[in-house]
Each structure stands twice: as structure tokens, then as C-alpha cells.
Amino acid sequence: MDMKVEEPNSHPNFAAMHQRPISWRIKDRLIEPKFPLVMGILNATPDSFHAASRVDVDVALRLAERMLTEGAMILDVGGQSSRPGSAEGSPQEELKRVLPVVSAIRARFPEALISVDTWRSTIAKEAVEHGASMVNDIGAGLMDSEMLSIVAQLNVPYVAMHMQGRPATMQEAPTYSDVSAEVTLFLSERSNAAHDAGIADVIVDPGFGFGKTTAHNFTLLNDLERLVPIGAPVLVGLSRKRMINEVLGTGPAEAVNGTTVLNTIALMKGTSILRVHDVKEAVECVKLTLALLTN
């Protein structure tokens, strides 16, 4: 019986997402991100589900320095909690939390890529004007009708995430006929909408934990390669989430090992960006997975 022997570097998802060059337009410059890459989480909020990621300006600068030293390419700054059951704060409060952190990081680390995690176009605009380089939108342009047009004017990359419902209610009995098919269709449509609005560089995020049960999350992870044909880099945020803790009987503080396991699976299925609380571990995960897939 003939056996097919794969050539080196022939893993289909790796070839599809990590070997073709991509350039991002960021305001008046072009950069060529080297995938897979790591995005570090900085929460300028008092109620993020992982307490160690909550920061003020001084803590943010120390954590930003550590994350950049450990190998993060992007720092994601958010001022509005999106944990399940969280209430929406005011735009003024979100701006008050985000802008000082973004401005301080830009002043201290002028070459760092800063993402602003917001669904509000007004916050996105102010943050980019104060030094952010990317917009990470849990609403995929549907929670603020001005978001796509504003991001297009800002000339920065854009992350569109899938979420069923809104943070305050998204975990109240989420249901799907086929979670993987529905998320893939949604992200394909939102990627097209972003491009049609004039956004050059779009990243898609399946939104683990956003309007999904643990069973939905694992089905989605198992089918993650279905997102690759969309043609946009895939970002995943699995870090310390409930899907890990429900299986292992742990809490967010004990979920580093579980996060690394799931990040490895995500990378092997074509993920380009890992959004994490623990940069060192994620960078090591990327290096080891690349060693496996390229040798």
C-alpha cells in the first residue's frame, strides 16, 4: 500500500496562515508582522476576571516593559470589562481609564504596537490619536454603527470578534445549530463589511467565552481551521478562561498550564495571534509549535 509522506513545512494551516507575507498599514507606515505572534493583555479596569491583569498607569508601564521584553509584539489595552455579566460603563469612564495608559506606553515605548480593546468608535478614535496602532472590537462593528467607518479613516488594523448577545447577558443559555458554521459565516461577513468600509487589514476572532458554553468553545476550538479560508489572520483569546477551569476544576489564577495546552492546539489549527495574560509562556508555546511544524 502506498503511503503519502508529507514534505517539511507542509502542514496545511501553517502554510496557509504563517508562510504568506502580510503587511499591515498603520497610519503612515507599513509593518510586516511575523506570525504567529503574541498580544499581551493590559486591563485598565477594576473588575477584569483575572485580577493580576488589572492595571493603573504605573503598573501598566511595568507590565508593558515585562511583556515587551518577554516577546509580545502587541499590547492590548482595555478600559471596559467584557466578562460575563458585566455592565456597560460610560464612554467618559472608559476614556478616563484608557487614554492615560495608552499615552504613557507610547511615550515610554514609542515602537510598541498598542491595541485598544473597545467597541466604541469614539474611544477608538481618541486612543489611536494618542498612540494606539490597532482597534480590537468585541462587537465587530455591530455595537457602534460608526466603528467601521472611523477605523477606516484611522488607517489601522482592525480585529472583528464574534459574540452572541452582549457581555451582560451573553452567557444566559447561548444556543447554536452549528456553532462552528455560524461563527465562521459571521466572521466572513464582518470581514467583508470591514473591507467594504475601507479597512485594509482585518483580523478575525471567534470569541471564546463570548456567548458560548464550554461545549461550544471546545467544538469551536476543534474546528478552528475552518476560519483559515476567510483569509484574515485568526486571533484567539483562550487565556485563563472558564472553558479551562470548568474542565480542570481550577480558577483563573491556576490556569496557565491549561492555557498553554489550548494555545498549542490553536496554533496547530492555524491561529496567527495569541491574546494572553502570560506572555513568556505563550512565546515559548509559539517557538515550540513552530519547531514542530517547520522541521
What residues act catalytically? 241, 275
CA nearest 163: which of 98, 278, 83? 83
240-255 burial code (b ≥16 CB/10 A, e <16): bbbbbbeeeeeebeeb
Cell of 168: 451582560
153-177 burial code (b ≥16 CB/10 A, e <16): ebbbbbbbbbbbebbeebbeebebe
Distance CA 264, CA 270 (A): 10
Instruction: Tell the residue number behind the cell numbers 477584569, with chain if given.
Output: 48
∠ CA 193-275-25, rounded to 5°: 50
Distance CA 51, CA 121 (A): 27
Q: What stretches of 208-269 adopt beta strand conformation (E)?
A: 235-236
Distance CA 249, CA 232 (A): 34
Distance CA 192, CA 189 (A): 5
